[in-house]
């Protein structure tokens, strides 16, 4: 009896990752927008990668990033070592018709990169991702290129 009570007490002290999204309930575009806005805030502003994925990418995750195989854990394993140490400059977040876009700039190893992440939602969960990247050389003919 003591072990059960002790286990219950210890389990209650552990952080709980909860999924706030749903793929089983139909979602309005407004509900999808709110979910994507919250995901974008967790991912880009708060830089809380694990919470963003735990709450909005709970299951199957189709990933079109050329450097990473599909799957939620593959994406996390790729991002975790670089995400918190990579400077990020947010540019914009867009949403409509079941797709969200996050546009931002990163500095990695002395190189500036413009990134546009495209996500597809099912209900209020993110289920698919495309990664578009372009190196910023500083020698672009158009002074407002990328941003």
CA distances (Å), origin 84, targets 30, 45, 69, 88 = 30, 11, 21, 9
How much is the CA Rg of the chain, to the nearest whole Å? 18
State mean pLDDT over 99-106. Answer: 97
The confidence band for 44, taking pLDDT boundaries of 50, 70 and 90, is very high
pLDDT at 1 over 60: no
Asked whether the whole model's pTM tops 0.85, one would answer no
For each of the domains in the chain, give its residue range(s) and CATH number, in order of start.
22-136 (3.10.450.50)
Output the average pLDDT for the chain: 87
> Quick one: 35 exposed, middle or buried, by C-beta within 10 A (0-12, 13-18, 19+)?
buried
pLDDT at 88 over 70: yes
Residue of 48, 30, 50, 25 whose CA lies nearest to 95: 30
What one-character DSSP code corresponds to residue 100?
A: E
pLDDT at 59 over 90: no
pLDDT at 5 over 90: no
> Which residues lie closer than 8 Å to 127 by C-beta, 6 or more apart?
23, 57, 59, 60, 61, 62, 120, 121
């Amino acid at each position: 009896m003591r072990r059960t009570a002790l286990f219950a007490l210890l389990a209650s002290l552990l952080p709980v990752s909860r999924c706030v999204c749903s793929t089983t309930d139909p979602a309005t575009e407004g509900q999808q927008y709110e979910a994507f806005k919250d995901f974008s805030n967790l991912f880009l502003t708060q830089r809380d990668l694990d919470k963003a994925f735990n709450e909005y990418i709970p299951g199957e995750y189709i990933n079109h990033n050329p450097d990473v195989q599909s799957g939620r854990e593959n994406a996390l394993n790729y991002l975790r070592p670089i995400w918190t140490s990579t400077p990020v400059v947010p540019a914009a977040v867009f949403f409509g018709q079941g797709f969200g876009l996050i546009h931002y700039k990163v500095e990695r190893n002395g190189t500036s990169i413009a990134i546009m992440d495209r996500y597809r939602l099912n209900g209020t969960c993110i289920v698919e991702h495309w990664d578009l990247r372009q190196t910023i050389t500083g020698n672009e003919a158009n002074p407002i290129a990328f941003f």
